[in-house]
Amino acid sequence: MKKLIASLVSAIILSILAFFGIRQMNSLSPRQTEKSESGSKVAIEELSYLNGDTKVFGKLYRPAEAALKGTEMSRRKFPTVVFCHGLGMNCDYWHSWCRALAGKGIIAYAFDFQGGAMQNCRSTSDMMHMTPETEREDLAMVMQRLRKEKFVDKDSIYLVGHSLGGLVASQYASGDGKRLLKGLVLMAPAFNIHDDALALYPKAKEIKDTTILMGCTLGRDYFVSARKYDPYKWLHRFDKPVLILGAGSDDKVPAEYLEKAAEAFPDANLKMIDHGDHLFTAMARKEALNAVEGFLSR
């Protein structure tokens, strides 16, 4: 009888280990090697983080030699940049950015916010309950886990956020990021979220259960949160260098919100790209990337 019980216990333990082993294996993908714009080889692989029953999918970009065990570069720690995407997008928005930086010896990491996109969201997806607060929690978890990776230089971590991701990045930077970040880059940060939400729903009781915004079906929680979100109350708390990038043809975030933010931060520089749109496409991307690279080399 004792042998039977012991066998059953062993079988249960093995099943549990196998289950979590399979989950961990499913969170990993084969390493790919690509050439960056500078011609340097870059290793790209999935680096996702599990938090209970949830998963935050991410991609790690680093110099190819640093990804090979036993090499001198594999034992080094690198400056690291974490990227936060905007509403309805995923970490693939940053692919060319991350590849470019990794080609110049900088670790780049981009991830999908949970529920951050209606489609192609590889993190646990529930856009109906996604809010700026849930995205800030995702970012905090990612930063906590990533800082423990052996290749990360803890004294040289930067955060880059676009649109909603910029808003979320600014809030994180003004909290935990005050002591953890070396600098912050905000690209067309959605600092107008508060005013836009109030304009759409002047009274909380008017908020619908679902609202379509920029092609995304958002839940009531999003607008309840957005109506209370006033980033200018916290921007002054982050006293590290900040680069704010705006686009002259941006039809989503008016320039006056960026100008106000540049005044609110203790150490911020605002750069407007005249021909750029909200997504910094085409030539605007190159100019924005050059500005970011210059900021990182300060």
Percentage of residues in the chain with pLDDT exceeding 70? 90
> How far is the C-alpha of 136 from the C-alpha of 115, rounded, in Å?
12
State yes or no: pLDDT of 6 exceeds 90. Answer: no
C-beta neighbour count of 9 within 10 angstroms: 10
Q: Which pLDDT band, with edges at 50, 70 and 90, does 91 fall under?
A: very high
* Mean pLDDT, residues 62-74: 92
- 81 and 22, same structural domain? no
- 56 and 145, same structural domain? yes
Assess contact for 115 and 127: CB atoms under 8 A: yes
> How far is the C-alpha of 65 from the C-alpha of 81, rounded, in Å?
18
- 178 and 92, same structural domain? yes
Domain range for 16 is 1-30
For CA atoms 266, 136, 84, 276, the dihedral sign is negative
- 210 and 161, same structural domain? yes
Assess contact for 172 and 136: CB atoms under 8 A: yes
> How far is the C-alpha of 193 from the C-alpha of 202, rounded, in Å?
13
- 90 and 24, same structural domain? no
- 45 and 10, same structural domain? no
- 3 and 40, same structural domain? no
> What are the tens digits of pLDDT across the range 163-208?
999 999 999 999 999 999 999 999 999 999 999 999 999 999 999 9
Q: What is the pLDDT of residue 105?
A: 95
Q: Which pLDDT band, with edges at 50, 70 and 90, does 119 fall under?
A: confident
> How far is the C-alpha of 192 from the C-alpha of 104, rounded, in Å?
34
* Count: domains in the chain: 2
- 80 and 14, same structural domain? no
> How far is the C-alpha of 96 from the C-alpha of 211, rounded, in Å?
32
The CATH number that applies at residue 200 is 3.40.50.1820
- DSSP class of 71: S
- 42 and 158, same structural domain? yes
Task: Name the more confident of 105 and 28.
Answer: 105
- 139 and 56, same structural domain? yes
> How far is the C-alpha of 258 from the C-alpha of 193, rounded, in Å?
13
